[in-house]
Amino acid sequence: MALTLTSTAFKGGAEIPQRHTCEGADRSPALQWTGAPPGTKSFALIADDPDAPVGTWVHWVVYDLPGDATELAEGLPTSDTLPGGGTQGRNDFRKIGYGGPCPPPGKPHRYFFKLYALDAPTKLKPRATKADVLKAIEGHVLAQAELMGTYRR
């Protein structure tokens, strides 16, 4: 069974609801996953927008989620650590936790939520960047899943 990432907030390829964007409450969407491979000790999640005018814009960095986790609740706090385990990094808004879609007016942007099943925790301190996490998980990825949503202003 392959690792699969879904959301109750939006379907893959569909528009992300306004409540999860800078034009709404900017709440993180609920995410669920199934099919973690045997030996999964932790998860990492990175959400980014490759269509941003300045290059890929990072919206959310989460790592060291417990290996038995199967979801992230909606509206997680923008704190260094998460209830139930997990650590949040710094996004490109220079903030901790989730920063929702906020593209310039024009064409829709794509937002990729990428989940990594890992054979070990990263042991990074809070506030790590996407680059820090990607470096830390090199050689530890057992499986990867992706969910893409769109948003336009």
113-124 pLDDT, tens digit each? 999 999 999 999
CB-CB neighbours of 56 under 10 Å:
12
- Whether residue 49 contacts residue 56, with contact meaning beta carbons closer than 8 Å, is answered with yes
Query: For every one of its 153 residues, what pLDDT tens digit does the chain have, with 9 covering 90 and above?
Result: 799 999 999 999 999 999 999 999 999 999 999 999 999 999 999 999 999 999 999 999 999 999 999 999 999 999 999 999 999 999 999 999 999 999 999 999 999 999 999 999 999 999 999 999 999 999 999 999 999 999 999
- Whether residue 99 contacts residue 91, with contact meaning beta carbons closer than 8 Å, is answered with yes
Sequence-ordered strand ranges (E) for 14-135: 31-34, 42-49, 57-66, 71-72, 87-88, 109-118
| CA distance linking residue 55 with residue 49, whole number of Å | 8
Whole-Å CA distances, 34 to 56, 63, 114: 27, 17, 14
Q: How many structural domains comprise the chain?
A: 1
Whole-Å CA distances, 108 to 23, 38, 69, 98, 101: 14, 37, 32, 20, 10
Length of the chain: 153
61: β partners: 46
- The residue range of the domain holding 80 is 4-151
Q: Where are the alpha helices (DSSP H) in 11-65?
A: none
Residue 105 phi/psi, 5-degree rounding, is -55, 145
- CATH assignment at residue 89: 3.90.280.10
